[in-house]
């Protein structure tokens, strides 16, 4: 069933002393298959960050909470494509619809109007928590991406299942445990897909009680051993949300590194 919403809308809003254009565009026929594009004002050709929100892949969490991250990146000249997608609890969400959505959403960037002056030779994925998982999975699928950024990401699904994160959400997401559906874990888990072959930056706080720091630590170590250019930036004493709060010193460092990746 096609959505009754218009394919896209545009409006202008002030921010950081300059106007920025925002447009919502649907990459599929479903009501949740859309992204919000923010484009910096006065930039001839903008690099792009595909931003993917978290929430342990459940539909109670949406893209609104990560809007401040998008606005903060756009304020320093980076266009952001904030993706919504079907999640656990949505018709078609979870396995395999969530993966189909983020892949289609990334490809949709190529069809956006030339008026936005996006530089598709400089595109990174940026994801928080479960969105970090999807950002790294996407980078392993789409070799045209320049790099990928994990903000406390769930990058090892087998280990996340072993730890029973969020009431064993990984089994809900993939439709079973690693013994029941091993091929799904091989396909879905970024650690299992190494080497990815692109620049990878991981940010994680040592006091994160939602996604343990050990997951990023193990992923980064394994990625480097496989020959990937991967770096883990550790935030001592930080929890799960400092990395998506533009007011924190942690995010200020993240933003600077993302900007450097896209130069």
Residue 18 confidence (pLDDT): 41
Residue 20 confidence (pLDDT): 63
Residue 1 confidence (pLDDT): 29
Checking DSSP bridges between strand 18-26 and strand 230-235, what pairing results, if any? unpaired
Q: Tell me which of 8-22, 76-90, 91-105, 197-211 is least confident.
A: 8-22
**Mean pLDDT score across all residues of the chain:** 92
> Distance between CA atoms of 220 and 56, rounded to whole angstroms?
21
Encoded tokens for 138: 């996407």
| Confidence class for position 40, pLDDT limits 50, 70, 90 | very high
> Distance between CA atoms of 89 and 60, rounded to whole angstroms?
8
Upper half-sphere CA count for residue 75 (Cβ side, 13 Å):
14
| CA 103 from centroid of its chain's CA atoms | 11
- The CATH H-level (homologous superfamily) assignment of domain 17-261 is Alpha/Beta hydrolase fold, catalytic domain (3.40.50.1820)
Residue 4 confidence (pLDDT): 32
pLDDT tens, residue by residue, 84-102: 999 999 999 999 999 999 9
Which pTM was predicted?
0.92
> Distance between CA atoms of 76 and 172, rounded to whole angstroms?
38
Burial group, residue 252, by CB count within 10 angstroms (0-12, 13-18, 19+)? exposed
Residue 44 confidence (pLDDT): 85
Domain ranges of the chain: 17-261
As separate numbers, helices (DSSP H) first and strands (DSSP E) second, the chain gives 8, 9
């Amino acid at each position: 069933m096609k959505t009754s919403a218009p394919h896209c809308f545009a409006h202008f809003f002030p921010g950081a002393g300059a106007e920025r254009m925002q447009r919502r565009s649907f990459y599929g026929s479903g009501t949740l298959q859309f992204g919000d594009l923010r484009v910096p004002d006065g930039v001839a050709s903008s690099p792009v960050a595909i931003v993917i929100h978290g929430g342990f892949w459940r539909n109670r969490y949406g893209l609104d909470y990560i809007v401040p991250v998008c606005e903060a990146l756009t304020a320093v000249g980076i266009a952001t494509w904030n993706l919504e997608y079907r999640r656990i609890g949505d018709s078609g969400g979870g396995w395999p619809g969530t993966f189909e959505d983020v892949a289609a959403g990334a490809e949709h960037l190529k069809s956006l109007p030339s008026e936005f002056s996006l530089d598709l030779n400089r595109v990174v994925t940026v994801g928080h928590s479960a969105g970090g998982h999807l950002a790294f999975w996407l980078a392993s699928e789409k070799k045209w991406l320049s790099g990928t950024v994990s903000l406390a990401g769930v990058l090892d699904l087998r280990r996340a299942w072993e730890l029973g994160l969020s009431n064993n959400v990984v089994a809900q997401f993939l439709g079973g445990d690693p013994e029941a559906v091993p091929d799904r874990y091989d396909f879905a888990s970024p650690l299992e897909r190494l080497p990815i072959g692109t620049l990878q930056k991981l940010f994680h706080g040592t006091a994160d009680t939602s996604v343990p720091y050990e997951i990023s630590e193990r992923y980064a170590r394994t990625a480097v051993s496989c020959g990937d250019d991967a770096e883990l930036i550790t935030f001592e004493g930080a929890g799960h949300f400092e990395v998506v709060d533009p007011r924190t010193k942690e995010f200020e460092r993240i933003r600077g590194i993302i900007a450097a990746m896209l130069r």
